[in-house]
């Protein structure tokens, strides 16, 4: 380990990070007057940490999450290693260039974990390690990986951090290390120094190894001198605000500020120190040797995660170091020129890598080779059946059908090994019990099952395929996100399934968004859903979740009413995940993300679906179900025509309304919408094509197949009415949307359907209104 060379690389990394932000703000004409932004000071505080990791500590199998505001530092290192083309250095925050924050899916260099929404990038490696432990137990050990998160101290204000570290699923992970950039500054405030005592206690209580890299080796040497302990005592006791202010001072002014309030003996001890600034600002988070020592000590903790508090200075090595307003501050052109000269560069070579023959160049090239990652594939290499053949002669809910389909798939020897489920303490009530009874609960070591209840007599051990979580929806979606990226981060694709009470999808929404933004692919069932969960009351009756599924990118909302349709749709989702993302540019739109199934506990008669299959034929019906909608009932009445489009649990009322309308001489065609998302996407594709080519868009094929004639439409949904209201616009016809636009209350399904105008009578009246508008 050559500290001098590492420090040289660190200074060049700092320069490139600063210059990237500088070029984005002072040399790029955005044409819109909007500030480009960037975080030179926040990048500077982590320069030493990232250099110590990438230029010395990490191996090729290690995975790292970089705090959002240190994005320029990460890209600077990748450039010096030869993993990023020079052309990108001037594209920070521009279209097609380097992203504001590290992104798995949008950055040109290889990012392990997306970051941006603070707190989530910290917890993601923890759940990636949970996934690796599972993969190793089921498929054989992979090359040893360390899962590292570099996080800002203010991120520890986020509640999801603490939800993650106390979850039973994350205990005992000795391959996890968090490095906290403890610069004691946030966006708008200085973080009180007392916080670290509280945080240390919380990590200790959660069973983590806690280390501090507080002082660099210069200060440690000073402390070891006779009388040096008084200096340590004063630095430990000095208010953080006072300490931060030292970085803007020099000479006698700094000495006076430093000694303000100091106990006896400090002035005498530093009287002979000529360069007091260099000594008292020598923090451990900028001492590469001290950092490496702490990282190696964390490696020695084999049975618990580690957190390293690295004391740093926000803006280290820059004129704005320690300034309380430096968060998004920018160096002036003169200051940039000064820094360029400091690192021995000029305008002709300011973007250059190190000379390949220099010690720094040799180090960078050797580290590039040492960190090279092998190719990975998201394709599972197995064929998922198109159907499990689920049949039912009795009324059945989609939640019950979901559980039965999973059990049937667990009997398929080709598919079963890759299925893994998880839930935040609601496995039984979301119908995972059958699957878990067959496969067991995952635990690193076998545990005795004490329950005599045959429904929850679950064995626990390394062969189990259900990952049990505490009650945290954030943890559910973070774990699903990492299970869905296991092909990349653990070298093993999986078929991951999560269940959650549908109202609480909102509680985990930030992590849901984070996971699909990162490119993860999984299945989540929100169940039970809607006001159809009648006796539970308004707090447990989800109404806005269909809109979340419809509007969330990389997510396909699916809400079938019938067990047979769910069978096809769930098997299709698994099949798409198993096949991996399409690499064929002519293949058309693909679904590379999550599948969100919105299910209910209401048993409904399966006969109408069987009749539609008989009428249309299985091949045609399956194709239309997967496309998003199909004609459940085609009226033969010769009279005014209206479409009744419904999704999910409200199909029985919709069918009853169609019968009443038929008695009144009105042809009411019933359309079962299985995926609003797929219909909407198809419509939008035709609209965009028309906009881009200045042509008149046609009605999308999937919509035209389900709604073959032009007629008014009534939409019926156990959710907010606006989620389906766009169908009128898509078809160019009058539309009367029915749905749930107020909070519900406890009662029977019938009572609540009356409250929200979802009864057959209300649907009939809505149809008459739609006809009058047409």
Give the pLDDT confidence score for residue 586 in this predicted structure. Answer: 42
Per-residue model confidence (pLDDT) at position 452: 61
Residues 246 and 126 in one domain: no
Q: What is the pLDDT of residues 16-44, one digit of tens each?
A: 999 999 998 888 776 666 677 787 888 88
d(CA 18, CA 675): 47
Most confident of 188-197, 252-261, 323-332: 252-261
Regarding whether 264 and 335 lie in a shared domain, the answer is: no
Chosen domain end from 546, 568, 598: 598
Looking at the fold, whether 425 and 485 belong to one and the same domain comes out as yes
pLDDT, the chain, mean: 91
pLDDT at 375 over 80: yes
- Tell me if 103 is assigned to some domain: yes
349 and 454 in a single domain? The answer is no
What confidence tens digit (pLDDT) does each residue in 119-178 have?
A: 999 999 999 999 999 999 999 989 999 999 999 988 999 999 999 999 999 999 999 999
Annotated binding-site positions = 153, 183, 185
Q: Report residue 458: phi and psi, to 5°.
A: -100, 125
Closest CA to 135 of 63, 58, 59: 63
Rounded-to-integer distance, Cα 377 and Cα 384, Å: 17
Is position 380 within any domain? no
Cβ neighbors of 70 (< 8 A, separation 6 or more) are: 39, 42, 43, 45, 46, 50, 150, 181
**Structure tokens of 558?**
């699916």
**CA-to-CA separations, 387 to 409, 524, 644, in angstroms, rounded:** 9, 19, 28
State whether 736 and 655 are in the same domain: yes
Residue 357 has which token pair? 């023959």
Q: Tell whether 648 and 697 lie within a shared domain.
A: yes
Are both 161 and 196 inside the same structural domain?
yes
**CA atoms of 645 and 670, how far apart (whole Å):** 6
**Tens digit of each residue's pLDDT (9 = 90 or more) over 296-319:** 999 999 999 999 999 998 888 888
pLDDT tens digit string along 180-190? 999 765 544 45
Judge whether 145 lies within some domain. Answer: yes
pLDDT-based confidence at 547, cuts 50/70/90? very high
pLDDT of res. 246: 86
Q: Same structural domain for residues 581 and 645?
A: no
Q: How many domains does the chain have?
A: 4
Peptide bond between residue 739 and the one before it cis (omega within 30 degrees of 0): no
| Average pLDDT score over residue span 385-402 | 94
pLDDT band at 244 (very low <50, low <70, confident <90, very high): confident
Residue range 609-627, pLDDT digits in tens: 999 999 999 999 999 999 9
176-182 and 63-65 as β-strands: parallel, antiparallel, unpaired? unpaired
Please give the pLDDT value at position 589: 47
Q: Pick from 238, 263, 282: which residue ends a domain?
A: 282
Q: Which residues are annotated as a binding site for Mg(2+)?
A: 153, 183, 185
Closest listed residue to residue 492, CA positions, set 132, 105, 60, 125: 132
**Model pLDDT for residues 319-355, shown as the tens digit of each residue:** 877 666 655 678 889 999 999 999 999 999 999 999 9
Q: How many CB atoms lie within 10 A of CB 279?
A: 17
Burial (CB count within 10 angstroms: exposed 0-12, middle 13-18, buried 19+), residue 419: buried
**Does the residue 379 lie in any domain?**
no
- The residue written with tokens 């106390």 in the block is 166
**With bands split at pLDDT 50, 70 and 90, how would you rate the model's confidence at 90?**
very high
Give pLDDT tens digits for 440-465: 999 999 886 656 666 666 788 999 99
Q: CA–CA separation, 410 vs 417, rounded Å?
A: 8
CATH of the domain at 722: 3.40.50.920
Structure tokens at 57: 């500590």
Residues near 568 by Cβ (< 8 Å), separated by ≥ 6? 386, 387, 622, 625, 626
Whether 708 is covered by a domain: the verdict is yes
Tell which phi-psi region holds residue 379, choosing left (phi > 0), alpha (psi between -120 and 50) or beta. beta
Asked whether residue 278 carries a pLDDT value surpassing 70, the answer given is yes
- The answer to the question of residue 193 being in a domain is yes
The CATH number covering residue 477 comes to 3.40.50.970
Radius of gyration of the chain (CA): 30
Of 568, 598, 628, which residue sits at a domain end? Answer: 598
Percent of the chain with pLDDT over 90: 77
Residue 244 φ/ψ, nearest 5 degrees = -60, -35
**Same domain, yes or no, for 424 and 409?**
yes
Residue 424 forms part of a structural domain? yes
Read off the pLDDT of each residue in 402-412 and give the average, rounded to a whole number. 97
Is the pLDDT at 585 greater than 70? The verdict is no
Neighbours of 577 (CB within 10 A): 28
Q: What is the DSSP secondary-structure string of 472-537?
A: -HHHHHHHHHHHTTHHHHSS---EEEEEE-GGGGTTTHHHHHHHHHTT---EEEE-S-STTSGGG-
Rounded percentage of the chain residues whose pLDDT exceeds 70: 94
The H-or-E segment that residue 151 falls in is strand 147-152
Q: Please state the φ and ψ torsions of residue 124, each to the nearest 5 degrees.
A: -55, -45
Q: What does the pLDDT average to over 575-590?
A: 68
Q: Supply the range of the domain harboring residue 126.
A: 3-214+284-370
If asked whether residues 174 and 222 sit together in one domain, one would say: no
Spatial distance between the Cα atoms of 735 and 733, rounded to a whole number of angstroms:
6
In this structure, are 83 and 98 located in the same domain? Answer: yes
Can you give the pLDDT at residue 327? Answer: 59
119: exposed, middle or buried (C-beta count within 10 Å: 0-12, 13-18, 19+)? buried
Would 393 be classed as within a structural domain? no
Average pLDDT value for residue range 379-387: 94
Q: Same domain for 632 and 537?
A: no
Looking at residues 726-743, what average pLDDT do you find?
95
Q: Render pLDDT for 494-523 as a digit per residue (tens, 0 to 9).
A: 999 999 999 999 999 999 999 999 999 999
């Amino acid at each position: 380990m050559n500290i001098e060379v590492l420090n040289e690389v660190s200074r060049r990394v700092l320069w490139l990070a600063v210059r990237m932000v500088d070029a984005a703000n002072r040399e790029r004409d955005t044409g819109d007057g909007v500030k480009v932004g960037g975080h030179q000071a926040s990048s500077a505080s982590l320069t030493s940490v990232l250099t110590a990791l990438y230029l010395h500590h990490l191996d090729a199998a290690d995975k790292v999450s970089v705090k959002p505001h240190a994005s320029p530092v990460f890209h600077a290192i990748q450039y010096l290693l030869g993993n990023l083309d020079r052309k990108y250095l001037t594209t920070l925050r521009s279209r097609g260039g380097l992203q504001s924050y590290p992104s798995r899916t949008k950055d040109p260099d290889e990012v392990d974990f997306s970051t941006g929404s603070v707190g989530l990038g910290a917890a993601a490696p923890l759940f990636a390690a949970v996934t690796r432990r599972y993969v190793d137990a089921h498929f054989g050990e992979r090359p040893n990986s360390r899962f590292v998160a570099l996080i800002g101290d203010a991120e520890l204000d986020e509640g999801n951090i603490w939800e993650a570290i106390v979850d039973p699923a994350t205990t005992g992970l000795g391959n996890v290390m968090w490095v906290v950039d403890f610069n004691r500054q946030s966006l708008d405030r200085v973080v009180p120094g007392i916080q670290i005592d509280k945080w240390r206690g919380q990590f200790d209580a959660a069973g983590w190894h806690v280390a501090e890299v507080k002082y660099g080796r210069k200060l440690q040497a000073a402390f070891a001198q006779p009388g040096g302990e008084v200096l340590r005592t004063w630095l430990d006791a000095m208010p953080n605000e006072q300490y931060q202010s030292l970085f803007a001072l020099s000479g006698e002014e700094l000495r006076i500020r430093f000694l303000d309030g100091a106990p006896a003996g400090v002035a005498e001890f530093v009287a002979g120190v000529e360069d007091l600034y260099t000594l008292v600002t020598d923090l451990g988070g900028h001492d590469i040797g001290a950092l490496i020592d702490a990282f190696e000590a964390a490696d020695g903790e084999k049975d618990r995660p580690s957190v390293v508090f690295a004391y740093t200075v926000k803006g280290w090595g820059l004129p704005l170091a320690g300034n309380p307003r430096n968060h998004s501050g920018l160096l002036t052109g003169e200051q940039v020129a000064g820094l360029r000269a400091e690192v021995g560069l000029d305008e002709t070579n300011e973007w250059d890598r190190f000379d390949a023959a220099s010690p720094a160049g040799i180090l960078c090239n050797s580290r590039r080779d040492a960190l090279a990652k092998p190719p990975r594939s998201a394709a599972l290499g197995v064929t998922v059946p198109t159907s499990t053949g689920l049949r039912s002669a009795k009324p059945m809910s989609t939640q019950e059908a979901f559980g039965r389909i999973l059990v049937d798939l667990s009997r398929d020897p080709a598919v079963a090994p890759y299925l893994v489920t998880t839930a935040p303490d609601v496995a039984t009530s979301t119908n995972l019990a059958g699957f878990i009874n067959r496969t067991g609960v995952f635990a690193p070591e076998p545990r005795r099952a004490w329950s005599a209840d045959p429904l929850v007599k679950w064995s626990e051990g390394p062969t189990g395929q259900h990952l049990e979580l505490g009650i945290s929806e954030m943890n559910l979606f973070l774990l699903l996100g990492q299970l869905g990226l296991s092909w990349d981060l653990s070298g093993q694709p999986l078929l991951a399934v999560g269940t959650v009470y549908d109202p609480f999808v909102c509680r985990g929404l930030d992590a849901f968004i984070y996971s699909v933004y990162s490119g993860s692919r999984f299945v989540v069932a929100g169940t039970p859903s809607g006001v159809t969960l009648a006796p539970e009351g308004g707090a447990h009756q989800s109404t806005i979740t269909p809109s979340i599924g419809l509007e969330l990118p990389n997510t396909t909302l699916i809400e079938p009413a019938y067990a047979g349709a769910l069978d096809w749709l769930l098997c299709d989702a698994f099949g798409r995940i198993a096949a991996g993302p399409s690499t064929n540019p002519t293949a058309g739109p693909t679904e590379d993300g999550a599948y969100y199934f919105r299910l209910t506990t209401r048993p409904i008669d399966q006969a109408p679906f069987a009749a539609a299959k008989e009428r249309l034929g299985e091949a045609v019906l399956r194709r239309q179900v997967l496309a998003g909608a199909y004609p459940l009932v085609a009226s033969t009445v010769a009279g005014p025509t209206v479409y009744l489009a419904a999704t999910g649990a409200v199909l029985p009322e919709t069918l009853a309304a169609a019968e009443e309308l038929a008695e009144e001489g009105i042809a009411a065609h019933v359309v079962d919408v299985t995926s609003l998302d797929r219909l909407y996407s198809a419509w939008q594709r035709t609209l965009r094509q028309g906009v881009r080519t200045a042509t008149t868009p046609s009605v999308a094929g999937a919509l035209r197949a389900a709604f073959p004639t032009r007629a008014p439409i009534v939409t019926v949904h156990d959710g907010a009415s606006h989620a389906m209201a766009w169908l009128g616009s898509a078809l160019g016809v009058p539309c009367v949307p029915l749905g749930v636009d107020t909070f519900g209350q406890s009662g029977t399904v019938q009572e609540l359907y009356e409250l929200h105008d979802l009864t057959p009578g209300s649907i009939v009246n809505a149809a008459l209104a739609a006809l009058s508008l047409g």
